[in-house]
Every structure is written in structure tokens, then in C-alpha cells.
């Protein structure tokens, strides 16, 4: 999925967010400012801020309020990525060297802590304790999701439900909360903010499934890192779980994953990737992603018919537009 550049109307405000993002992590410490800036400049789709602003369109849209949600959400997402990279021992992300590879693990860890702190400092500009509560709970859920991911590394016995629960915590929740808090900060109707939550949750699920598909089916240029990274790391994603369910191929794949596990992922994984690509796992995962997108679009039904509603639909479709 490419950067979201489909929102002409939001463009100006997203420029504000981009500037605020950079400003937010400036501080006394040159090293932390530099590593944080490196992380933010590596880019990303800014999906969470976009959703915050779009959520805001259903209420009293005020960029000067919404930025205190949008920027922290992107910061929290970024902080989780930098901690992820330490865990994953990742050298590249989005086609750029990671903080942990350009500097080191220790710097990556404190960069994450620093960015979390900066995110929370910004949110204190809003006097709504419920927003803080939702945000901090999402942080807790995210760390649980990350932990579950570690625990399930190379676990070939997990079922689809376990995978879905994990990505719910790891990814969807923060996207759901972005949609919800945008509406809440704009004092939109409670029905609206909970519909937005449901929209974000389902888009987030589809988005993560799609991302996991891309890691198997995309090119290095598309992904920004070598394909099969999840496999090397032992991250058993949805297409893998489905592929493992196939009687003959499943057995061969299991053996191959065990070999990769034994070598701690320090080996060629193209055979395993090839098996999964030739399995029904890809198509079945696509079906599930599409089902989440449909649910996301359904969640929009109760929303007033403003232009943003159409744009949200567009994003939903965009998330599962396959380029591989």
C-alpha cells in the first residue's frame, strides 16, 4: 500500500500535522531529536493522523484541537515501530536503515521511550480524561499484542482466531482509536464515534492481513525490506496458518519452518515463501481481508452523508488494492 495521497481537501491540514510531528520531538537532547527525526522522516502512510482528521469532520472540525490527537497517535505508532525493530533485529524499514541498525539497540529503546513520553505530553493539551483513558489503554493493548507475537514466534499450532486476536491488539486497536478519538475530540455524536471505531477496527484488521500478504507476495522495492521477513523471524501470519492446514503442502511447510527455526532464521526462506504462495493461503487471506473491508464499509452506514464518508470508503478499498 502506497502513501495515502488521495485526499486533496485534507492535504493542507496534513501538512500542519507533518510540521507538528517534527516539532513535537525537538528537545534538549540532540541524539534523541536526531534519531526520532530519522524515524519520522522515514515516512509511513500517516494513516492514523488521516483517520483522526477524518473522524473530526463528523463534528466541530478544529485542526488546532485535532492535532493533539493526530500527532500523538502517529508518535505512539512510531515508538512502537522502533521498539519492534529492536525485537525483530530489523536493519531496514520502509527502505531506510532502522534506528537500531544506524545507531544501536540501546539508543533505539530510549528513542522509543522518549517518543512515547513526547506523545503523552502533547495529549495533555486536551482536557478530556476519557481521551487519555482510551489512548493509554490502547498503549497497553499494543504491548500485549507485541508480547503475544513474540510468544507465538515459530508456533505452527496456532489457529486463525489466535492470529486475529493478536493483530487486533497489535494493529487494529490503534487505528480504531484514531478514528474514534478524532470524532470524540470534535465532539461528534457518540453514535458517530463508535461507528468510526468499528470502521477503523475493521480497516485495521484488513490492513494488517494485507501487510502480512505483502511480506510474502511483494517485491523488495514494494516492501522496503527483503520479502519473507516475517518467516525469517518466525512470525506465523494468516497465509501461513492457512497453508499449514493443507494436508500435503502443510507437512512440507511445517518441516521447512522447523528448519528455519533451528537456524534461527539465519537462512534462505524462499522455499517456504514459495510454498505459501502456491497454497490456497493467499486467496483465503485475501477473502478474509475483503470481508473486513466490507464490515468497515457497513460501519459507515449510520454516518451522515458528508464527503468524508465517501473518502473513508475510498480508503477502505485502497487498503486491499493489491499491487503484487
Q: Which chain residues interact with a copy of itself by CB under 8 A?
A: 27-29, 31-32, 80, 83, 86-87, 105-107, 109-110, 112-114, 116-118, 120-121, 123-127, 129, 132-133, 135-137, 139-140, 142-144, 146-148, 150-151
How many Å apart are CA 90 and CA 78, to the nearest integer? 15
Least distance from a copy of itself to the Cβ atom of residue 142, Å: 8
Rank residues 175 and 244 by Cβ distance to a copy of itself and give the closer one.
Answer: 175
Nearest to 276 by CA among 311, 236, 313: 236
Least distance from a copy of itself to the Cβ atom of residue 290, Å: 29
Rank residues 127 and 266 by Cβ distance to a copy of itself and give the closer one.
Answer: 127
Least distance from a copy of itself to the Cβ atom of residue 66, Å: 17
β-bridge mates for residue 92, sequence order: 97
CB atoms within 10 A of CB 106: 10
Least distance from a copy of itself to the Cβ atom of residue 248, Å: 35
Q: Where are the alpha helices (DSSP H) in 156-228?
A: 160-167, 173-185, 190-217, 220-223
Least distance from a copy of itself to the Cβ atom of residue 148, Å: 7
Q: How many CA atoms lie within 13 A of 208 on its CB side?
A: 24
Rank residues 264 and 302 by Cβ distance to a copy of itself and give the closer one.
Answer: 264
How many Å apart are CA 202 and CA 198, to the nearest integer? 6
Rank residues 130 and 248 by Cβ distance to a copy of itself and give the closer one.
Answer: 130
Q: Which grid cell is 67?
A: 492535532
Distances (CA, A) of 95 to 84, 212, 225, 229: 16, 17, 6, 13
Least distance from a copy of itself to the Cβ atom of residue 106, Å: 5
How many Å apart are CA 81 and CA 99, to the nearest integer? 10
CB atoms within 10 A of CB 319: 25
Rank residues 87 and 254 by Cβ distance to a copy of itself and give the closer one.
Answer: 87
Rank residues 136 and 157 by Cβ distance to a copy of itself and give the closer one.
Answer: 136
Q: Which grid cell is 60?
A: 466541530
Least distance from a copy of itself to the Cβ atom of residue 99, Å: 12
Distances (CA, A) of 19 to 32, 38, 61: 18, 14, 19
The burial of 276, by beta-carbon neighbours within 10 Å (0-12 exposed, 13-18 middle, 19 or more buried), is given as buried
Rank residues 122 and 293 by Cβ distance to a copy of itself and give the closer one.
Answer: 122
Q: Which grid cell is 304?
A: 451522515
Amino acid at each position: 500500500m502506497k502513501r495515502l495521497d488521495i485526499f486533496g481537501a485534507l492535504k493542507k491540514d496534513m501538512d500542519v500535522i507533518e510540521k507538528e510531528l517534527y516539532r513535537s520531538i525537538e528537545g534538549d537532547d540532540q541524539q534523541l531529536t536526531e534519531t526520532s527525526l530519522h524515524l519520522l522522516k522515514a515516512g509511513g502512510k500517516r494513516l492514523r493522523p488521516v483517520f483522526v482528521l477524518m473522524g473530526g469532520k463528523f463534528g466541530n472540525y478544529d485542526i488546532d484541537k485535532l492535532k493533539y490527537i493526530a500527532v500523538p497517535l502517529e508518535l505512539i505508532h512510531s515508538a512502537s515501530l522502533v521498539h519492534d525493530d529492536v525485537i525483530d533485529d530489523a536493519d531496514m524499514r520502509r527502505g531506510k536503515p532502522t534506528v537500531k541498525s544506524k545507531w544501536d539497540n540501546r539508543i533505539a529503546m530510549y528513542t522509543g521511550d522518549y517518543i512515547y513520553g513526547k506523545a503523552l505530553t502533547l495529549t495533555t493539551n486536551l482536557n478530556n480524561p476519557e481521551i487519555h483513558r482510551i489512548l493509554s489503554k490502547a498503549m497497553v493493548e499494543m504491548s500485549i499484542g507485541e508480547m503475544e507475537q513474540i510468544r507465538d514466534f515459530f508456533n505452527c499450532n496456532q489457529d486463525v482466531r489466535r492470529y486475529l486476536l493478536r493483530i487486533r491488539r497489535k494493529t487494529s486497536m490503534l487505528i480504531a482509536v484514531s478514528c474514534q478519538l478524532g470524532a470524540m475530540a470534535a465532539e461528534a455524536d457518540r453514535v458517530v464515534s463508535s461507528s468510526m471505531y468499528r470502521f477503523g477496527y475493521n480497516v485495521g484488521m484488513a490492513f494488517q492481513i494485507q501487510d502480512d500478504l505483502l511480506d510474502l507476495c511483494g517485491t523488495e522495492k514494494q516492501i522496503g525490506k527483503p520479502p519473507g521477513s516475517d518467516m525469517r523471524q518466525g512470525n506465523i501470519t494468516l497465509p501461513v496458518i492457512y497453508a499449514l492446514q493443507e494436508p500435503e503442502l502443510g507437512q512440507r511447510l511445517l518441516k521447512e519452518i522447523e528448519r528455519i527455526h533451528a537456524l534461527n532464521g539465519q537462512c534462505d526462506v524462499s522455499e517456504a515463501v514459495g510454498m505459501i504462495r502456491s497454497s490456497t493461503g493467499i486467496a483465503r487471506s485475501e477473502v478474509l481481508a475483503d470481508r473486513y473491508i466490507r464490515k468497515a464499509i457497513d460501519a459507515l452506514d449510520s454516518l451522515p452523508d458528508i464527503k468524508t464518508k465517501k473518502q473513508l470508503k475510498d480508503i477502505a478499498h485502497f487498503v486491499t488494492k493489491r499491487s503484487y
